Amino acid sequence: MGGPVDCATFDALPGDDAVALLQTCCSSPAWAHRVAAARPYGDRAALLRTATDLALALSDPELGDALAGHPRIGERSDSAASRREQSSVATATTEVRAALAAGNRAYEEKFGHVYLVRAAGRSAGELLGILHRRLDHDAATERGEVRAALADITRLRLELLIDGAAGPEETGGTE
Protein backbone atom coordinates (compact mmCIF):
# COMPACT_ATOMS: atom_id res chain seq x y z
CA MET A 1 0.00 0.00 0.00
CA GLY A 2 1.43 3.30 -1.06
CA GLY A 3 -0.26 5.73 1.30
CA PRO A 4 -2.92 6.14 3.96
CA VAL A 5 -5.84 3.71 3.94
CA ASP A 6 -9.27 3.97 5.48
CA CYS A 7 -10.31 1.62 8.26
CA ALA A 8 -12.65 -0.41 6.02
CA THR A 9 -9.79 -1.06 3.59
CA PHE A 10 -7.51 -2.03 6.47
CA ASP A 11 -10.16 -4.37 7.89
CA ALA A 12 -10.47 -6.10 4.49
CA LEU A 13 -6.74 -6.63 3.83
CA PRO A 14 -5.39 -10.17 3.69
CA GLY A 15 -3.74 -11.06 7.01
CA ASP A 16 -0.15 -10.93 5.77
CA ASP A 17 -0.73 -7.54 4.13
CA ALA A 18 -2.27 -6.14 7.31
CA VAL A 19 0.66 -7.41 9.38
CA ALA A 20 3.21 -5.93 6.96
CA LEU A 21 1.42 -2.58 7.03
CA LEU A 22 1.24 -2.60 10.82
CA GLN A 23 4.95 -3.36 11.10
CA THR A 24 5.65 0.03 9.51
CA CYS A 25 4.21 1.44 12.75
CA CYS A 26 5.76 -1.01 15.23
CA SER A 27 8.34 -3.66 14.38
CA SER A 28 7.08 -6.20 16.93
CA PRO A 29 5.72 -9.16 14.93
CA ALA A 30 3.63 -10.22 17.94
CA TRP A 31 1.97 -6.80 18.16
CA ALA A 32 1.29 -6.65 14.41
CA HIS A 33 -0.23 -10.16 14.38
CA ARG A 34 -2.44 -9.41 17.41
CA VAL A 35 -3.70 -6.12 15.96
CA ALA A 36 -4.39 -7.76 12.59
CA ALA A 37 -6.11 -10.75 14.23
CA ALA A 38 -8.51 -8.47 16.14
CA ARG A 39 -10.05 -7.15 12.90
CA PRO A 40 -12.56 -6.02 11.88
CA TYR A 41 -12.49 -2.78 13.82
CA GLY A 42 -15.18 -0.90 11.94
CA ASP A 43 -13.78 2.47 12.88
CA ARG A 44 -10.47 4.19 13.40
CA ALA A 45 -11.01 4.88 17.11
CA ALA A 46 -11.47 1.17 17.89
CA LEU A 47 -8.33 0.29 15.93
CA LEU A 48 -6.28 2.96 17.70
CA ARG A 49 -7.54 1.89 21.14
CA THR A 50 -6.73 -1.77 20.54
CA ALA A 51 -3.33 -1.01 18.98
CA THR A 52 -2.38 1.19 21.94
CA ASP A 53 -3.54 -1.36 24.52
CA LEU A 54 -1.63 -4.14 22.76
CA ALA A 55 1.56 -2.03 22.56
CA LEU A 56 1.36 -1.36 26.30
CA ALA A 57 0.88 -5.10 26.97
CA LEU A 58 3.94 -6.38 25.09
CA SER A 59 6.08 -8.86 27.00
CA ASP A 60 9.71 -7.94 27.59
CA PRO A 61 10.98 -10.03 24.63
CA GLU A 62 8.27 -8.55 22.38
CA LEU A 63 9.22 -5.08 23.56
CA GLY A 64 12.78 -5.89 22.54
CA ASP A 65 11.55 -6.71 19.03
CA ALA A 66 9.73 -3.38 18.91
CA LEU A 67 12.80 -1.46 20.12
CA ALA A 68 14.94 -3.08 17.43
CA GLY A 69 12.96 -1.09 14.86
CA HIS A 70 13.94 2.28 16.32
CA PRO A 71 17.19 4.14 15.64
CA ARG A 72 19.06 6.01 18.32
CA ILE A 73 17.90 9.58 18.80
CA GLY A 74 20.05 11.66 16.48
CA GLU A 75 21.21 8.84 14.20
CA ARG A 76 20.31 8.75 10.54
CA SER A 77 17.59 6.23 9.79
CA ASP A 78 16.24 4.48 6.71
CA SER A 79 12.76 5.01 8.15
CA ALA A 80 10.94 8.05 6.77
CA ALA A 81 8.80 8.07 9.92
CA SER A 82 11.86 8.22 12.20
CA ARG A 83 13.45 10.96 10.09
CA ARG A 84 10.25 13.01 10.24
CA GLU A 85 9.79 12.42 13.97
CA GLN A 86 13.40 13.33 14.80
CA SER A 87 13.68 16.28 12.42
CA SER A 88 14.53 18.73 15.22
CA VAL A 89 17.73 16.84 16.00
CA ALA A 90 19.08 17.42 12.48
CA THR A 91 19.12 21.17 13.11
CA ALA A 92 20.43 21.00 16.68
CA THR A 93 23.79 22.45 17.63
CA THR A 94 26.88 20.27 17.50
CA GLU A 95 27.02 20.36 21.29
CA VAL A 96 23.46 19.10 21.71
CA ARG A 97 23.97 16.34 19.14
CA ALA A 98 27.18 15.27 20.92
CA ALA A 99 25.38 15.29 24.28
CA LEU A 100 22.58 13.15 22.81
CA ALA A 101 25.14 10.67 21.43
CA ALA A 102 26.87 10.45 24.84
CA GLY A 103 23.51 10.14 26.58
CA ASN A 104 22.43 7.39 24.18
CA ARG A 105 25.58 5.43 25.08
CA ALA A 106 25.05 5.90 28.82
CA TYR A 107 21.39 4.92 28.52
CA GLU A 108 22.16 1.77 26.52
CA GLU A 109 24.88 0.80 28.99
CA LYS A 110 22.47 1.19 31.92
CA PHE A 111 19.28 -0.28 30.42
CA GLY A 112 20.56 -2.54 27.62
CA HIS A 113 18.44 -1.06 24.83
CA VAL A 114 17.96 2.04 22.73
CA TYR A 115 16.57 5.20 24.37
CA LEU A 116 13.01 5.41 23.07
CA VAL A 117 11.13 8.65 23.32
CA ARG A 118 8.30 10.30 21.41
CA ALA A 119 10.41 12.79 19.45
CA ALA A 120 7.89 14.34 17.07
CA GLY A 121 7.12 17.92 18.01
CA ARG A 122 9.94 18.09 20.56
CA SER A 123 13.17 20.02 20.29
CA ALA A 124 16.55 18.33 20.54
CA GLY A 125 17.04 20.11 23.86
CA GLU A 126 13.80 18.64 25.21
CA LEU A 127 14.85 15.17 24.10
CA LEU A 128 18.17 15.61 25.87
CA GLY A 129 16.43 16.79 29.05
CA ILE A 130 14.10 13.78 29.00
CA LEU A 131 17.08 11.48 28.45
CA HIS A 132 18.91 12.92 31.47
CA ARG A 133 15.79 12.56 33.64
CA ARG A 134 15.26 8.97 32.55
CA LEU A 135 18.87 8.00 33.28
CA ASP A 136 17.94 8.39 36.96
CA HIS A 137 15.21 5.72 36.71
CA ASP A 138 15.45 2.19 37.99
CA ALA A 139 14.86 -0.58 35.44
CA ALA A 140 11.19 -1.14 36.31
CA THR A 141 10.30 2.54 36.12
CA GLU A 142 12.11 2.88 32.82
CA ARG A 143 10.35 -0.15 31.33
CA GLY A 144 7.06 1.64 32.01
CA GLU A 145 8.31 4.80 30.30
CA VAL A 146 9.54 2.79 27.32
CA ARG A 147 6.18 1.06 26.91
CA ALA A 148 4.35 4.40 27.11
CA ALA A 149 6.72 5.96 24.56
CA LEU A 150 6.31 2.98 22.24
CA ALA A 151 2.51 3.20 22.50
CA ASP A 152 2.63 6.96 21.74
CA ILE A 153 4.93 6.52 18.74
CA THR A 154 2.96 3.57 17.40
CA ARG A 155 -0.35 5.42 17.77
CA LEU A 156 1.01 8.47 15.97
CA ARG A 157 2.28 6.35 13.10
CA LEU A 158 -0.98 4.41 12.92
CA GLU A 159 -3.00 7.65 12.92
CA LEU A 160 -1.04 8.79 9.88
CA LEU A 161 -1.43 5.40 8.20
CA ILE A 162 -5.18 5.06 8.72
CA ASP A 163 -6.86 7.90 6.85
CA GLY A 164 -3.66 9.94 6.93
CA ALA A 165 -4.88 12.23 9.67
CA ALA A 166 -3.12 12.64 12.97
CA GLY A 167 -4.89 13.38 16.18
CA PRO A 168 -3.86 15.86 18.88
CA GLU A 169 -0.59 14.02 19.47
CA GLU A 170 0.66 15.13 16.03
CA THR A 171 -0.28 18.75 16.42
CA GLY A 172 0.68 18.91 20.08
CA GLY A 173 3.93 17.04 19.62
CA THR A 174 4.80 13.34 19.53
CA GLU A 175 7.97 10.41 18.02
CA-angle at 158, arms to 153 and 161, nearest 5°: 135
- Structural element, H or E, at residue 124: helix 124-134
- Give this prediction's pTM: 0.85
> What is the overall mean pLDDT for the chain?
88
The CATH homologous superfamily for domain 7-172 is Oxo-4-hydroxy-4-carboxy-5-ureidoimidazoline decarboxylase (1.10.3330.10)
Q: What is the dihedral of CA 16, 22, 24, 30, to 10 degrees?
A: -80
Extents of the domains making up the chain: 7-172
Question: Model confidence over 89-133: pLDDT tens digits?
Answer: 777 899 998 999 999 999 999 999 999 999 888 899 999 999 999
Residue 28 makes CB contacts below 8 A (sequence gap 6+) with: 55, 58, 62, 63, 65, 66, 69
